[in-house]
């Protein structure tokens, strides 16, 4: 049962509730029984992706092109529920849908949308989004990957890091600098000469996600592969703002999962001749966990209601991401504590969520960067450049 202490369900539309329940049922049936195995092997769950396509969620809020045209709240609920099942699977899907597809929809020409979005909506083609670089994480606007015009083509040179799906994607959206003040985004197809990937190994978080380092060695792409409306930093900032909103929902998903697992465990685990749910300290911890989950649900819901509004700002997205990740990190730690020694076993799910939450904590900008984005908005002073 979905934790809903404040009856937030009443604030959702019928479609939003249906999306949430559909994804939850899918995760209970298909994901939870096998997610730990993929995580332990650090193996991409290809079989689950094929089944996920049947949910018809890819493309999220995009209208047309075979995409579902969901509300921002429905997209967030789907992200939370998919994360509740497995954080790695949600990241794989999110990179494809909420970064790659969203960028093509916002910045692509009609021809580019027609070429890619229908197949991506069916998950027949997988996408990736390449912005972060080895030496440019928080200072993303200073990235060094370059693009120069050569006749009718563009030639890309540089490197990217932490790019989910890059090693298996059919198309990677590569952001590159054209000059000091202008950027562009380019559709680089699988097999393009000079485009090389190396999967990052040794991770203790998001282990089933294939994240890669990319080397662009004078990669030549035709002029038709430059996204038509990606020209300034504002273009990718918009995508990043929406992505940060979804990271808040993802954090909620990890927290919900751990609260649910901890509650079920407390009701079944017998110590001193009765379930540990009888003990005051356990009830206190569960109550505080549920309070944090409830506050995150309200935060994420209001944030999503603002996403299509002129009142939506980068500061709102940053605050939601900052607060949700901070609180989720504590909830998963409390769940780990309640499960005792069993808390480190994959069969009990919580340890995987705790490890994955560490990756989410820095995803789309560290906690420090989110606070500075909020600080800039409330003081009018930029403190990080």
Q: What is the mean pLDDT of each run of 10 residues along the chain (385 residues)?
A: 91 97 97 96 93 95 97 98 97 96 96 98 97 76 87 96 96 92 93 97 96 97 96 83 94 98 98 97 98 98 94 94 97 98 96 96 87 93 84
The secondary structure of residue 226, as a DSSP letter, is B
Burial of 6 from C-beta contacts in 10 A (0-12 / 13-18 / 19+): middle
User: 47 and 108 in one domain?
Assistant: yes
Residue 123 in contact with residue 139, Cβ under 8 Å?
no
Per-residue confidence (pLDDT) for residue 266, from 0 to 100: 98
User: 149 and 85 in one domain?
Assistant: no
Per-residue confidence (pLDDT) for residue 141, from 0 to 100: 67
**Which DSSP string corresponds to 24-79?**
HHHIIIIITTTHHHHHHHT---HHHHHHHGGG--TTTT-EETTEE---HHHHHHHH
Per-residue confidence (pLDDT) for residue 231, from 0 to 100: 87
Per-residue confidence (pLDDT) for residue 236, from 0 to 100: 79
Per-residue confidence (pLDDT) for residue 233, from 0 to 100: 80
Q: Is the dihedral of CA 298, 302, 305, 307 positive or negative?
A: negative
- Residue 3 domain flag: no
The secondary structure of residue 134, as a DSSP letter, is T
Domain tally, the chain: 3
User: 337 and 214 in one domain?
Assistant: no
User: 45 and 80 in one domain?
Assistant: yes
Residue 196 in contact with residue 215, Cβ under 8 Å?
yes
Of 205, 225, 245, the one marking the end of a domain is 225
Among the residues of the chain, which ranges form H helices? 14-26, 35-41, 46-52, 72-85, 87-94, 102-107, 110-121, 233-268, 280-306, 314-338, 350-362, 367-379
CATH number of residue 60's parent domain = 1.10.540.10
CATH number of residue 154's parent domain = 2.40.110.10
């Amino acid at each position: 049962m979905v934790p809903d202490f404040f009856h937030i369900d009443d604030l959702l539309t019928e479609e939003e509730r249906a999306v949430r329940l559909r994804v939850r049922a899918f995760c209970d049936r298909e994901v939870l029984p096998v997610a730990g195995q993929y995580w332990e092997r650090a193996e991409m769950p290809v079989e689950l992706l094929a089944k996920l396509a049947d949910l018809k969620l890819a493309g999220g809020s995009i209208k047309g092109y075979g995409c579902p045209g969901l509300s921002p709240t429905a997209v967030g609920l789907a992200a939370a529920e998919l994360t509740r099942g497995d954080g790695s699977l949600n990241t794989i899907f999110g990179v494809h849908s909420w970064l790659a597809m969203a960028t093509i929809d916002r910045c692509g020409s009609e021809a580019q949308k027609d070429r890619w979005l229908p197949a991506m909506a069916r998950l027949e083609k997988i996408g990736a989004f390449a912005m972060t670089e080895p030496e440019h994480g928080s200072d993303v606007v200073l990235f060094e990957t370059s693009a120069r015009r050569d006749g009718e083509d563009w030639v890309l040179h540089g490197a990217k890091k932490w790019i989910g799906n890059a090693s298996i994607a059919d198309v990677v959206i590569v952001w590159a600098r054209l000059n000091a003040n202008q950027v562009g985004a380019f559709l680089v197809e699988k097999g393009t000469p000079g485009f090389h990937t190396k999967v990052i190994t040794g991770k203790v978080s998001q282990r089933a996600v294939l994240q890669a380092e990319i080397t662009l060695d004078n990669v030549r792409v035709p002029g038709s592969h430059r996204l038509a409306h990606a020209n300034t930093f504002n273009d990718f900032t918009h995508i990043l703002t929406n992505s940060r909103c979804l990271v808040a929902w993802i954090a909620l998903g990890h927290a919900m999962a751990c609260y649910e697992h901890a509650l079920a465990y407390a009701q079944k685990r017998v110590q001193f001749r009765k379930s540990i749910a009888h003990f005051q300290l356990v009830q206190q911890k569960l109550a505080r966990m549920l309070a944090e989950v409830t506050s995150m649900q309200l935060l994420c819901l209001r944030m999503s209601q603002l996403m299509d509004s002129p009142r939506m700002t980068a500061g709102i997205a940053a605050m939601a991401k900052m607060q949700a990740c901070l609180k989720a990190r504590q909830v998963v730690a409390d769940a780990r504590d309640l499960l005792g020694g069993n808390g480190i076993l994959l069969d009990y799910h919580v340890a995987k969520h705790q490890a994955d939450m560490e990756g989410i904590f820095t995803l789309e900008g560290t906690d420090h960067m989110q606070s500075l984005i909020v600080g800039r908005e409330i003081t009018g002073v930029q403190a990080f450049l």
